Amino acid sequence: MKKFLVVLMVLMMTVSLFARGIAEEQLNDSVKVADLKVAAPSGAPALVLASLAVDSPENYKIIAADTITAEFAKNESDFIIAPLNAGAKLYKMGKSTYKLAAVVSWGNLFFASQKENFKLEDINGAEITLFGENTINSSIALFVLKENGIVPAKVNYLAGAANTQQLLITDANAIVMTAEPALTAARNKKPAITGYAVNDLYKNATGNIGFTQAGLFVKADLITSSPNTVKTYLEMVNVSTDKCNSDVKTVAEAAVKLEILPNMKVATASIPNITVRFVPALEAKEQVEVTANIDIKQFGGALPADDFYYGEK
């Protein structure tokens, strides 16, 4: 018993010293973790922050996807989750000083149809509908089809995943690209829907597990003024991201409470298919460049410069 108490006291002291160390590290930082302002678009990308945001919602704001450029321009948020190519393009154009801190979303796209016994090979010679013409998502979709020897006869476009989801539900013969969690929501209405992950085709084509879809960006001024706060927060996001894979129920509850996802049924079924993991910017650089070279114009016409990546060289 005495030995157990000694071990317990040592553990408590270790935790206390760790917490005190974090606090002391931030003493000289002008911004503390508790004061950080973070923005993210609703849906899949915001899930990596859900377990953090649910405890301090006043520090987080969920924004519409079409306001991402404006969010970078305002330079108010300390961290922003955004499509990686959008952040890279704005940085190259001098319209953003935000650096890539980590890649957190690695592709949530699916080809789907209600067709009986639907197979990917059915896309050969068929009419398909993608979302987001002239975006990185549609470029990735066309790339993986071509690299896997699948050639559609005609490609149509709708604005977003919600639009192709609606077509998927209402047209039993449609073949579409949609995304999670829209695919799961569609399946709840039409159980006959079959979906195939774009990531599986991407791996066949490149050898990589997912493409660099969304990143966590950090304001350049914060890196200078509060370096320890930046490091501490990135560690917190890393843990939060891991929970999307290790503790789906907790993340699902947080996502529903924050209205990131509509309900627990959709949340618990879709989160495992959303493919999130935390990879520091410099470690992800090679894979960022693989994605960029698929459609370089989506990245501003050139690979991101070295100073776009946050981290110690």
CA distance 177 to 131: 7
Rounded Cα distance between 202 and 68, Å, is: 26
Scored b (16 or more CB within 10 A) or e, 150-176 reads bebeeeebbebbebbbbbbbeeeebbb
* Structural tokens at position 206: 């490149």
Secondary-structure class of domain 109-206 per CATH: alpha beta
How confident is the model at residue 24, as a pLDDT?
47
pLDDT of residue 28: 80
Give SS3 for 63: strand
DSSP 8-state class, residue 108: -
Give residue 118's identity as a one-letter amino acid code: F
31-106+212-302 against 109-206: fold identical: yes
**Residue 69 CA, distance from chain mean position:** 17
Place of tokens 């149809």: 113
- Beta bridge pairs of residue 111: 177, 196
The one-digit pLDDT tens for each residue of the chain (313 residues) are 444 344 334 444 444 434 444 444 555 899 999 999 999 998 898 999 999 999 999 999 999 989 999 999 999 999 999 999 999 999 999 999 999 999 999 999 999 999 999 999 999 999 999 999 999 999 999 999 999 999 999 999 999 999 999 999 999 999 999 999 999 999 999 999 999 999 999 999 999 999 999 999 999 999 999 999 999 999 999 999 999 999 999 999 999 999 999 999 999 999 999 999 999 999 999 999 999 999 999 999 999 999 999 997 6
The CATH number of 31-106+212-302 is which of 3.40.190.10, 3.40.50.12780, 3.40.50.720, 3.40.50.9100?
3.40.190.10
Tell how strand 99-105 and strand 276-280 pair up: antiparallel
Question: Which pLDDT value is given to residue 313?
Answer: 64
- pTM equals 0.90
Q: Are 211 and 83 within 8 A, CB to CB?
A: no
Residue 27, pLDDT score? 58
Domain ranges of the chain: 31-106+212-302, 109-206
> 290: burial class by Cβ within 10 Å (0-12, 13-18, 19+)?
middle
